[in-house]
Chains A and B, each alone.
Chain A
Amino acid sequence: MLRHSLRFKHVKFLLGYTTIRNQAQCAGKGVVASAVQQNNLPVISFQKPGPHVLDDELRLIPSQEIDNPLVVDSSFEGVTPLFSPSFNLASLVNKSELLQLMVKLGVSIHQWERKTDVHSWVMALDFKKDVQPIIQFLVDQGVASDSLGLFFTKNPYILKSSIEDLEIRINYLHSKKFSSEMISRILSRNPHWLLFSPERIDNRLGFVQQTFHLTGDELRAVATKESRLITSSLQGIKLMNFGFKEEMGFEAHQIKELLLAKPKLWLMNKSMLVDRFDYLHNTMKMDYESVLRFPAVLTCRGFRIKQRHEFLCHLNRAQYDPKLPRYVSPLQIISDSDTYFAVHIARSSIQDFNDFCKTM
C-alpha cells in the first residue's frame, strides 16, 4: 500500500525530478561522510559522490539536467496516492475492486486481519491475472462456489500461488489414484492441503501408511475422510498412538479399526481423550468392543456422559449389557437433546434431569 503511495512518478512530480532512477545512477550515489576524525571515532570512507548529484532526500536546487516541472508529463497519473497508509483493510474496501469481489464471495476480511499478514500483499494482486484463474481452478476441481468464501478466509495464501504449482499438486493426487470426488472432498474440507508440495504430501501419506499398516485403498479412504490428519502435526499422530496403545490399552489392529472408523480422534487432545476413556471403561464399565463398535462415544464431551450416566444410576437404569433387558446403548447416551434422553431413555422428566444436574 505504501509502495503505491510513494510511486516514483509522484515523487518525481513533487520534487521536480523527471529522469527515472536506474541502477547506474543509484550506484553512483553515496552518503557523504566526514573524513575528519572527530572524538576519536574511526573514519568511515564511502564512495565519493559524483559532481552533479547531491543527497536525494535534501534536494533543494534543481540541476540543469532536470526538465521544466511545468511541462505536462504524459505518463502522469495524479497527485494523490492511490491508498493512504491505513491500519485496517476496512478503510480500503470501498475503493478496491479486489476486496469488494472478495466480500461478494463471502470472504471474511476481518479474519484476514486478525489471523494473517495478508494485508501486506493482498492489495498488490490483480484480479484478472492472479485471482480469477485460481477461482476457476478450484471450481473446476469441485469446490462449491458458495464455499469459496470460507476457503479463502481460511487459506488466503493460495491467492499467491501459481496455477502451475497447483496443477502439479492435483496431478500428484491423480497419479496416486485419488478420484475426482475424493479430491473435491479433500479440497473443500481442507483448504490448506494445496499449500503442501507433492514431496511433503507424499512423505506424510507414506508416514500414515507405514504407521498404521494401511493398504492403498485404506490410505485413500482415511485421507479423504479426514484430510486434516495428513496436513497437521505428525508428532501429534505419534503421541496419540502412544495414548491409544500404552495409556488406554488398545491393540494395534483395534487402533487401525478406530482410525478407519473415526480418524478425527487423532486430531483431539490426548489427555482429554484418555480421561474420557478412563471414565467410560473404569466407571461405566464399557469394554473395548463397545468403544470400537461406537467410536463416537469418545468424541462426546465428558460432562454430558457423566451427567447422563449418573442420572441413569440414580434411577437404577444404568444397564449397558445388551443381553439383559432395559439395555441402554452408548449411542443413546451421547445423542439427542437432554429432553429426549430424559423422557425416552431415562423414563423420567426433563425437570428431574435438570434438578439432578444441580446436585452434581
Chain B
Amino acid sequence: MAVSTSVKTIREAWFQLNGVMCLYKPTQISWKQMRNTLAFNISRDMNELEQDAPRKYVKIESLTNGTNVDLPAPASYSVTTIPNLADHELVRGPAILADDLRLQPGNLLGFRTAGVVVVGLNKGNRSLHNLNLSRPTSAYHIKSQFGLATDSHWDDGKVWEKTTFIHISRDKLDRMLASIQASNQKKMFEYCGVDPQSQTAYELASKGLLRPAVNGPPLIYGIKCVHFNPPDFTLEIHCANENEQYMAALIHDLGLSLKTTAVCQQIRCIRYGCFTVDDALLRKHWSLEYLPDHMSHCHTKLRSLPDIGPQLATYDRLQPSQNPPTKS
C-alpha cells in the first residue's frame, strides 16, 4: 500500500477512502463502466487487507443426556467460546462491496471523449460539489480533419460529402475562430443582462466572475488552433457547459463556414478547473496502490486554490449604488 506501511487492516484503510481524484478516462467507455471498474478495483484491493477478527460465539451445551420431565433441570453444562463462523469471509461474503463506495463524477465526458475526469469518493463528494459550484471551465483538444462530412460528425461515420480544402490558410482559420470566440463572449454578457460596452461589464469580466449560474447552453471562453497541417488540424477550446455533441457539431459548422467540411477525429479533455492531464491517473493505476497518494496530491491542489466561493454574476447581485446597465 502506497499511503503508509502502517495501514494494514480494512478498517483503517476505509477511513482513508475519502477524497477527490483526477482520472484519465479512455475513449469508448461510458461513465458507468468507468465507475464500475474503479469501484471493483478499490473493493477488490480492500478485501485483500486484514479483516476484523471474528466475534466470539458462546456455546452452552448440556452435559447430561436426554431429559425427563419429572426430574429438575440438569446442573452441569459445558461453556465454550469459539470464533463465530458467521463472520468468516466465506460465509459472510466480502467486507467491502463495490456499492459501498460512493463515486460521483465532477464532469461528465461523452462516450468517445477521452481525458480528465474528476471523481469524488465518499466524503470527497462534498469537496467535489464545492468545486462544481465554482463553475470551473474545461479545456479540450479536438483533433479534426478537413475535407469530409459525415452523419455523426466523426471520421468513422457515414460519409455525406467530400470537399477540397486547399483554399484554407492558417489565418483564415484563425480569423474564423476569433469571431467564434468574440460572439460567445458577447453572449456571456447578454446572459448576465449586462451591456458588453458598459463599465459594469468590464468590472465583472476583470474579476473573472462571468460563469453560467445554471446548466445552460455551452459557452466558449477561448478557442484557437494549436496545430495546422491540412487536412489535419487541432483546436484548443476553453468552455463551460459543453458536451460531446456540441463540440462535434462545432467542428462541422466551422468547416461549413470555411466553405469546406470538417469532422472530428479525437476529442480529449485536457483540463477541468485546476486539474490537468498531468495529474490524471491512467486506467492501469486505478487501484488502491496508487489512489491514496494521488488523492492527497489532489487535496493539496484544491486547498491551494483561492477561496472566492461561488460568486456568480447575476443582475440582482449588483450593489444598489451602481447604475443599471443601459444599451448604448
Which residues of A are in contact with B by a Cβ distance under 8 Å? 70, 72, 78, 89-91, 93-94, 99-100, 103, 106-110, 114, 303, 338, 354, 357-360
Contact = CB atoms under 8 A, between A and B. Distances in A.
Contacts, number: 52
B68 A72 contact: yes
Interface in B15-37: 24, 26-27
A229 B114 CA distance: 37
B26 A109 contact: no
A359 B226 CA distance: 15
15 contacts: A72-B68, A72-B70, A78-B67, A89-B91, A90-B85, A93-B86, A94-B57, A94-B85, A100-B85, A108-B90, A110-B93, A114-B93, A303-B26, A358-B280, A360-B26
Nearest to A102: B90
B102 to A, nearest CB: 22
Contacts of B92: 90, 110
Interface of B: 24, 26-27, 57, 59, 67-70, 82, 84-86, 88, 90-94, 114, 268, 277, 280, 282, 284
B91 A109 contact: yes
Contacts of A106: 90
Nearest to B285: A354
B108 to A, nearest CB: 19
Given A354-B282, A358-B282, A359-B268, A109 B24 contact: no
Contacts of A89: 91
A90 B86 contact: yes
Nearest to B68: A72
Contacts of B59: 94
A89 B88 CA distance: 12
Nearest to B94: A110
B280 to A, nearest CB: 7
A70 B114 CA distance: 80
Nearest to A78: B67
A103 B84 CA distance: 12
Interface centre among A78, A94, A100 (most CB of B within 10 A): A94
Contacts of A354: 282
Contacts of B84: 94
A358 B91 contact: no
A233 B90 CA distance: 30
Given A359-B268, A360-B114, A91 B86 contact: yes
Given A93-B86, A103-B85, A358-B24, A338 B284 contact: yes
B69 A72 contact: yes
Nearest to A338: B284
B35 to A, nearest CB: 18
